[in-house]
Amino acid sequence: MEHSVEYAHATGLLGSVWLLVAIPLVSAAILLLLGRRADRWGHWLGVASVGAIFVLGLSYFFSLRGLENRSVELSLWDFIAVGDLHVDFGLLFDPLAAVFVLLITGVGFLIHLYAVGYMSHDAGRRKFFGFFNLFVAAMLLLVLGNNYVMLYVGWEGVGLASYLLISFWQDRPSAATAGKKAFLMNRVGDAGLAIAIFIMFATLGSTQFADVFNGAGALQSGTVLAIGLLLLLGAAGKSGQFPLQAWLPDAMEGPTPVSALIHAATMVTAGVYLIARSNPIFSLDPTLQTVVVSVGALTLLMGCIIGAAKDDIKRVLAWSTVSQIGYMFLGVGLGGGAYALAIIHLLAHGFFKANMFLGAGSVMHGMQDQVDIRRFGGLAKYMKITWITFGLGWLAIIGMWPFSGFFTKEPIIVEAFARGDWTAWLYGGAALLGAGLTAFYMTRLFVLTFHGPKRWTEDIAHPHESPLIMTVPLILLGLGSVVAGGLMATPVASWLTPVLGHGEHHEPVLSHTVITVLSLGLTVLGAGLAWLLFRNGTALVEQPAGPVVRAARRNLYTDAFNEAVFEKPGIFLTRALVFLDNRGIDGLVNALAAAVGGGSGRLRRLQTGFVRSYAMSILTGAVLVVAAFLAVQLGWLA
C-alpha cells in the first residue's frame, strides 16, 4: 500500500451517523421491554424505525458525495483502554460502509413492511419486530465500526439476532436445534476472527482500521497469511462458505422474512464485507488470495449441485445463496478490480434474492405453508404478481441479459479467466460451469412452482395472492431485480475506488466476447434442459437415483462428516469426562478421606468398584497436565 489510509473527522450532518445504530436499537428495546402493551402498534414502530434510518442513510450518502475525502470517522467514547490497548467506540462512514447502509436499510425496510403482512397471524409479531430491529442495529454496527473490535461486536450481535430469529418458533425442536447449530458454527468462525484481532494487537499495537491497514505492509509474510486465513475462517462462518456452510440451509427454519433479510440479502454477505474491508491485508499475499478464490469456487459449485437435488423451495434458495456468495468470495479473492465487482454482485443479489425469498413466502402464504416444490405447479394463474416478480428474480439470478445478474456475475467470470496463469482456466471454468448449473436448478425451481400441472395436496382449493402490504415490496424488489445490476455496475465501481483501489487490468485468457457467448449459451442450455425435464411436473416422492444425486440430496455428505468427526466424538468425550470426574477424581479424594478417617469398610467398597476408573482418571489427568504444560512452555519459548 503506497497511499496511507486517513479518515477525516465527521462534522455537520455526518456527525450524527450514530443514529443509524441507535434508532433501531432503541426501537428494539421498546418493543422487547414494553411487552404485550405494544402488541397493537409494535410492528409499525419496527417498520418506521427502519424507514427513518433509510432516509437518514440517504442523506448521509449525499453529504458524503460532497466531501473530497469521502471518508469520515466518528469516535464516540473510549471503549476499551488498558495499557497500550486503545479501542474506540467509533464509527467509519466511507463509500463501502455507505453502500451497505443503503442496502441494509433499503431492502430491510421493504422486508419489514412485508413482514407486517406475513406475520399478521402470529401472536409473537411484536417480539419478532423487536428481534428484527435488533438485527438491523447490529448489522449496521458491523459495517460502520471503525476498528476490528467494533466489527466483532456487530459480528456477534448479528449472530445473536440470527439465532433468535431462526429459533423464533422455538417450540419446534427443529427450529431450536437449527438456531443453536447456526450460533455454534458461527462461533467457530468468530474464534478465528478473534485470534486475528489478537495478532493485529500483538504485532501492530492497534485494532483500528487505519492503523492496521497502514501497518500491514510492514508485517512479516507469515503474519499476513495467518491474519488473512483467520479472517477468512470468520468470513466463511458468517457467509456459509466451505467448510462452515452446513448451518445456512437449516437456518430456513426461521420465518421467511428472516431468510430474506438475514440469510440472503445482508448478514450472510458480511463475510464478503470483511474481506473487502480488509483488502489492504488480502492484497498483500497471492497465496492468501488463492485460498479465498478456491473457497469461493468450491462453494459455488457445491451450492449448485446440492441446490439441484432439493425439493424444499426455501432450501433450494438457501443453497443458491451459498452458491452466489461463492461467486462473491471468488471476486474478493481475485482482488484488484474484482473487489468492487463482488460488492456490486452482492448488492444486486440483495435485491433479487430478497425478492425471491419473499416470493417464496408469498407462495407459502397462499398454499398453507407448503414448502415442497413437488406439491406446487400451475401457480402462475393464481398468483400473478408473485409469479411475475419471482420470474424477474429468476431471470436475474441466472444472469440472463438484460437482467441484473447479467451485469454483475458476468464480470466476475471474466475476471476469473484473467488470472495470470493456468489457474485462469480452473477458476474461470468453475465460474462458467456454475452459471450453467445455476440456470438449471433455478429454472427447475421456477417451473415446478409456477408452471406445469397442479400437484397440490387435497386441502388446497384456491391458492390466493398475498395482500398488498406483501405484494408492494415484491413489486419494488422485482423492479430492482431488473435494473439494479445494470444501473449500478459502473457508478458503484468508481464510487468504491477510494476504499478498494484501482484494479490493474489483466487480459482474460479467452476474449470477453467468447466468455459472454459461452456463459449465455450455458445459461440457455441449463435453463432449457430444466424446462424440458420439468415442464410436465415431477414425481411426488423421492425417486431412486445415481450416486451423484444421492450425495447431493445428503448435502455431499458434509453433515455426515461433521457428525462423525465432531459431534459423536464430542458427545463421547463429554460423557467419559463426566464419568471420570464423578468417579475418578472425586472418588479418589473421597477414598483418601475415608482412609484417613479410618472407615475401612467404606473404603473397600469404594475401591473395589472404581480402581480402574481411578487409574483412568489419574492417567487422563497426568496426560492433560503434561500436554497443557507443554503448550504453555512452547508459548514462552516462541
x/- string (CB under 8 A) for another protein, residues 182-211? -xx--xx-xx--xx-xxx-xxxxxx----x
x/- string (CB under 8 A) for another protein, residues 534-573? ---------------------------------------x
- Contact partners, residue 64, CB within 8 Å, separation at least 6: 14, 70, 72, 93, 94, 95, 98
DSSP 544-605: P--HHHHHHHTGGGHHHHHIIIIIHHHHHHHHHHHHIIIIIIHHHHHHHHHHHHT-HHHHHH
167 contributes a contact to another protein by CB under 8 A: yes
Among 6, 78, 369, 507, binds another protein (CB under 8 A): 78
CB of 240 to another protein, least distance (A): 18
CB of 503 to another protein, least distance (A): 26
221 contributes a contact to another protein by CB under 8 A: no
In Å, how far are 131, 156, 224, 603 from 190, measured between CA atoms? 21, 8, 18, 48
Residue keyed to cell 439476532: 161
267 contributes a contact to another protein by CB under 8 A: no
219 contributes a contact to another protein by CB under 8 A: yes
CB of 597 to another protein, least distance (A): 10
| Segment interacting with another protein (CB under 8 A) among 114-122, 414-422, 500-508, 620-628 | 620-628
Residues binding another protein: number (CB under 8 A):
73
State the Cα–Cα distance between residues 75 and 210, nearest whole angstrom: 13
628 contributes a contact to another protein by CB under 8 A: yes
Among 13, 55, 81, 123, binds another protein (CB under 8 A): 81
Scan residues 289-348 and list those touching another protein (CB under 8 A).
Answer: none
At 422, give phi and psi (nearest 5°).
-60, -25
CB of 629 to another protein, least distance (A): 4
Among 173, 222, 547, 601, binds another protein (CB under 8 A): 173
At 496, give phi and psi (nearest 5°).
-85, -10
CB of 248 to another protein, least distance (A): 17
243 contributes a contact to another protein by CB under 8 A: no
CB of 588 to another protein, least distance (A): 9
CB of 232 to another protein, least distance (A): 16
| Segment interacting with another protein (CB under 8 A) among 420-428, 464-472, 473-481, 629-637 | 629-637
SS3 content of the chain, % helix, strand, coil (to 5): 75, 5, 20
| Segment interacting with another protein (CB under 8 A) among 77-85, 353-361, 509-517, 552-560 | 77-85
Give the burial class of 169: count Cβ atoms within 10 A of its Cβ; 0-12 exposed, 13-18 middle, 19 or more buried.
Answer: middle
Cβ atoms of 242 and 236 closer than 8 Å: yes
Max Cα-Cα span within the chain:
92
Strands 85-93 and 8-9, sheet pairing: unpaired
- Nearest C-alpha neighbor of 409 from the set 479, 338, 511: 338
- Contact partners, residue 190, CB within 8 Å, separation at least 6: 152, 155, 156, 159, 234, 237
Nearer to another protein, 149 or 347 (CB): 149
Strands 8-9 and 72-82, sheet pairing: parallel
79 contributes a contact to another protein by CB under 8 A: yes
Nearer to another protein, 191 or 469 (CB): 191
Nearer to another protein, 199 or 549 (CB): 199
Nearer to another protein, 218 or 539 (CB): 218
Among 561, 586, 615, 619, binds another protein (CB under 8 A): 586
525 contributes a contact to another protein by CB under 8 A: no
In Å, how far are 377, 445, 446, 454, 530 from 533, measured between CA atoms? 14, 12, 12, 16, 5
Nearer to another protein, 208 or 481 (CB): 208
507 contributes a contact to another protein by CB under 8 A: no
At 606, give phi and psi (nearest 5°).
-65, -45
Q: Which three cell numbers stand for residue 499?
A: 476504499
Nearer to another protein, 194 or 524 (CB): 194
Among 540, 545, 593, 615, binds another protein (CB under 8 A): 593
CB of 35 to another protein, least distance (A): 8
Cβ atoms of 59 and 70 closer than 8 Å: no
Say whether the peptide bond before residue 402 is cis (omega within 30 degrees of 0). Answer: yes
Q: Which helix (H) or strand (E) holds 339?
A: helix 338-366
585 contributes a contact to another protein by CB under 8 A: yes
State the Cα–Cα distance between residues 338 and 503, nearest whole angstrom: 7
Scan residues 408-467 and list those touching another protein (CB under 8 A).
Answer: none
CB of 182 to another protein, least distance (A): 10
| Segment interacting with another protein (CB under 8 A) among 498-506, 519-527, 603-611, 617-625 | 617-625
34 contributes a contact to another protein by CB under 8 A: no
Query: How many degrees, rounded to 5, is the angle at CA 130 between CA 125 and CA 132?
Result: 90
